[in-house]
Amino acid sequence: MNEFVVDASVAIKWYLPEHYSEHADRFLNSFFELLVPELLFSEIGNVLRKRVMKSECPYEKAVKIIKAIEALPFQIGDTGILTEEALDIACRAKRTIYDGL
C-alpha cells in the first residue's frame, strides 16, 4: 500500500470542482493510505467558509462536505511534533508553515 500526505487543497477537490480535480480523485482508492495533518479539518472549514461567503457553495452543501471528509479513513498526524521541521521546509520553499506541516 502506498502512503500519501493529503492537504486541504487536494481534499477539497474531491467535493468541489476545481482545476486538477480529476487528478485528486485518483487518491480515493483503497490502494492508497492517506495521511493528513490534524489541521486539515480546520483548513477545509476555512475553504468552505470562503466559498459560502462568496455564494460559490450553499451552506448546506458545505456541511455535507465537512461530514464526508470527517468520515474518510485518514491516518491523522499530530503536527505539534513537526513544527521545527515544518519551519525549515516553509522557509526553504517560501511557503506557509501550514504547507510545511
Enclosing H/E stretch for 19:
none
* Domains of the chain by start residue, with CATH: 2-100 (3.40.50.1010)
pLDDT tens, residue by residue, 26-76: 877 778 889 999 999 999 999 999 999 999 999 999 999 999 999 998 999
Element (H, E) at 72: none
| pLDDT over 90 (residue 23) | no
CB-CB contact of 44 with 55 (8 Å) = no
- Cα–Cα dist 40/5, whole Å: 11
Q: Give the chain's end-to-end CA distance (angstroms, integer).
A: 22
Report whether 38 contacts 79 (CB < 8 A): yes
